[in-house]
Amino acid sequence: MSAGSGHESLVDRVPLAQRSRLARWFSRLEGPQTIGHGAGFWALFVLVVVAACAYPLFADGWTVGNAAYFLVWTFMAMGLSVIWGYAGALSFGQTAFFGLAGYAYGVLTINIGEAYGFTFLALVIAVALAALFAAVLGYFMFYGRIRGVFIGIVTLSVTLVFETFMAQTAGPQWAIGTARLNGFNGMTGMPPLTVPWFGGDIALWADRPLYYVLLALTVIVYLALRMLLNSPFGNVLVAIRENPERTEMLGYDVRLYQLLAFVIGGGLAGLSGVLYTAWGQYITPNSMGLTAAALPVVWVAVGGRRDITATLIGTLLVLSIFQTLTIYGSQYALVAMGALLVLIVLLAPDGIVLSAANLLGRLTRRRRA
């Protein structure tokens, strides 16, 4: 800006310290804890996002709604990647947080309604409730020195207890206000997400409007997690995964970092639960069963649990395969998913996407050398 200009640019109005903090955070979009860097990667990322934005223009409403359904599950998978892949704690509790947030959204919206965009406030409250439950459960686990396989046992037990309890709430006495829990049949009748607008609220049904909202949320959460995981916080999580005893000897509170990762993962699973409930206007105890609890582990393991990008790609890939198998041979779909997990553990323990990315990186470096 010249000295004689009569106005400041928008950038000049931002304090220098704040600008440096923003630059530091944006620089963490690339780092040692995530694959993908350089102009080529980000050009491909922009191309994929543009293609995803253009996709509904060339597809019918049912196909777009199905794509929105796939995007709903990415938040749960990315949350599990933070807990398991980065912090090293295998958890089967994602579906418990998913179900809790879904039911909370249903109770709030059925009792209070959807006017004035209350559904988005209900989304925030439900996700916060899931994160709070994760904080309480995680506190007793990690500060109780529960480690290794026992974390999986505890979280799976909590999930199954929650499912069993909700399946037994069929009687008329099981209601919160006007919201009936309906036992095994599940809760229905909750509204979709609505946006306040002049002349009436706009309902985001399971088609193009909801798809674009979910796509925007997926991109925002993905980029935010890249910045978080490439920060000192993410570096400590990886150190805990590799050697928790050494990390503790260096002065870090291992229990606190694991708890924070667990809360982040629980909140993201709760976000999936709310979006799923708003997408289909129902939630059932089946969504918290043994099969539902195991599927996110398959998604994350196939893509590559130790990288958020691999997790995102792998989740969308496995969901597509699973749905195809369900359509053409439902009795074999779960068997195929189990066999796929076994093969991945034996042949590519880092996941298909992450292993392919690492191989490509090695070949590129060798070619440059």
By three-state DSSP, how is residue 267 classified?
helix
CA distance 141 to 273: 23
**Per the confidence metrics, is the pTM higher than 0.95?**
no
| 120, 201, 226, 245, 277 from 189: Cα distances, Å | 17, 18, 37, 50, 10
- pLDDT value of residue 324: 83
- Nearest-CA neighbor of 113 among 29, 15, 196, 20? 196
Q: What is the pLDDT of residue 62?
A: 87
For the chain, report the end-to-end CA distance as a whole number of angstroms. 44
Which run of H or E residues covers position 195?
Answer: strand 193-195
Instruction: Give pLDDT < 50 ranges for the chain.
Output: 1-6, 10-11
Query: pLDDT digits over 192-203, tens only?
Result: 998 887 767 778
Give the model's pLDDT for residue 51. 96
Q: Please choose, from the candidates 281, 275, 258, 319, the residue with its C-alpha nearest in 3D space to the C-alpha of residue 91.
A: 258
What is the pLDDT at residue 350? 85
